[in-house]
Amino acid sequence: MQDIVRGNPTHHQVATLPAPLAPKDNQFEVYICCAQKHMRRGGAIDLVLRETLLSEVLTAGANLISSMGVATIPASNSQIFHQTILSFGAILFGSRQGQTSIVGRGYAMHGMTLRHLNQALSDEKCSTRDEVVLSVAALAILECLVPSGPKNYLKHMLGLERLLALRGPLNYSPISAEIYKSVRHMIIFSSLRTGRPSILAGADWKNALRLNCNSDYEIQEQDLFDFLADCTTLLAERDGLLAEYESLLAIWGSDLDQQKLRLQIWARWRVRIWRRSLEVLASLRAWKETWDSDERNAYTVTSGTNFPTCWTPSGPMGAIFADGLPPLDLTFYSFSSGPVAFIMMLYNTTLIYIFRILASLPSGNLETALDAQPPWEHNNDEYFAAERSTALEVFRCVPYLCSIQLRSDFEASPISHWAVTTAWTTLRSNGNESNTKGEDMIGLLEPVRQGRGQPEIVAQGVWEG
- 330 with 449, same domain? yes
Residue 259, Cβ density class (10 Å: 0-12 exposed, 13-18 middle, ≥19 buried): middle
Q: What is the mean pLDDT of the chain?
A: 78
**Do 83 and 43 share a structural domain?**
yes
Of 6-15, 95-104, 117-126, the range with the lowest mean pLDDT is: 6-15
**Rg of the chain over CA atoms, in angstroms?**
25
Tell me how far apart the alpha carbons of residues 218 and 178 are, in angstroms, rounded to a whole number.
Answer: 12
Residue that wins the pLDDT comparison between 329 and 288:
288
Secondary structure class of 15 (helix, strand, coil):
strand
pLDDT > 80? residue 437? no
Instruction: Clarify whether residues 292 and 421 are in a common domain.
Output: yes
Domain end call among 180, 212, 244: 212
Domain tally, the chain: 2
Q: Is residue 424 predicted with pLDDT exceeding 50?
A: yes
Report if residue 219 sits inside a domain.
no
Q: Are residues 164 and 268 in the same domain?
A: no
Q: Cis link prior to 455 (omega < 30° from 0)?
A: yes
Residue 197 lies in a domain: yes
Instruction: State whether 184 and 238 are in the same domain.
Output: no
245 and 205 belong to one structural domain: no
Q: What tens digit of pLDDT does each residue of 369-390 get?
A: 444 444 455 558 889 999 999 9
More confidently predicted of 8 and 128: 128
221 occurs within a structural domain: no
- Angle ∠(266,267,272) on CA atoms, nearest 5: 95
Which one has a higher pLDDT value, 363 or 280? 280
Q: How many other CB atoms sit within 10 Å of the CB of residue 450?
A: 11
CA distance 443 to 425: 14
Model pTM? Answer: 0.83
Residue 319 confidence (pLDDT) above 50:
no
Residue 278 and residue 390 in one domain: yes
The reply to whether 254 falls in a domain is yes
In this prediction, residues 77-98 reach a mean pLDDT of 85
Rounded to whole angstroms, the Cα distance separating 379 from 262 reads 22
In which domain, by residue range, is 58 found? 18-212
Higher per-residue confidence, 86 vs 286: 286
Q: Is the Cβ–Cβ distance between 321 and 294 less than 8 Å?
A: no
Q: What is the pLDDT of residues 398-419, one digit of tens each?
A: 888 877 776 666 677 889 889 9
Question: Where is pLDDT greater, at 41 or 304?
Answer: 41
Residue 308 confidence class, pLDDT cut points 50, 70, 90? very low
Task: Choose the final residue of a domain: 212, 247, 275.
Answer: 212
**Are 180 and 108 found together in one domain?**
yes
Residues 245 and 359 in one domain: yes
State pLDDT tens for residues 148-199: 888 889 999 999 999 999 888 887 666 788 889 899 999 999 999 999 999 9
- Does 196 share its domain with 329? no
- Asked if 61 and 168 sit in the same domain, the reply is yes
Q: Is residue 8 part of a domain?
A: no
245 and 123, same domain (yes or no)? no
Q: For position 29, what pLDDT does the model report? A: 81
The larger pLDDT score, comparing residue 235 to residue 395, is at: 235
